[in-house]
Amino acid sequence: MSNLVYIAAGGVIGAILRYTVTGAVFRLVPGAFPWGTLLVNITGCLAIGAVWHLFEGFYITPNMRLFLMVGLLGAYTTFSSFGLETLNLLREGEVGHALFYVLASNIIGVAAVYAGILVTRGLTGLLR
């Protein structure tokens, strides 16, 4: 149960940071392009790279790993996990798997968003 507390505590902070950063960027650069989300994704990738490197060189408790990587960065942006996992595949020489992961995540991910809209439209049409 204590693992969930560390994840939840980090998640609260990460979600608040995401909301704050995207809102601030939208106020500074209004428009249709999601600059705030892009900034969150890039800074999340930068942060997970830095944290991962620190974990390789220094002992970090398992609870601190859960707090930072799963909780805080997971709530801030899951794109950071995607970036780290892709890099790890490339570092392990799994170029084909990395390419598939990037393409599948993006193409199938966008298609899944559209499918979710279509399914929900169909279901809400039935409920009316």
Q: Residue 97's pLDDT band (boundaries 50, 70, 90)? A: very high
pTM over 0.85: no
Average predicted confidence (pLDDT) for the chain: 90
* In contact, 11 and 67? CB cutoff 8 Å: no
| 128 pLDDT more than 60 | no
Where exactly are the structural domains of the chain?
A: 2-77, 93-128
Tracing tokens 């998640």 back to the chain, one arrives at 11
Work out the average pLDDT over 108-118: 88
* In contact, 63 and 2? CB cutoff 8 Å: yes
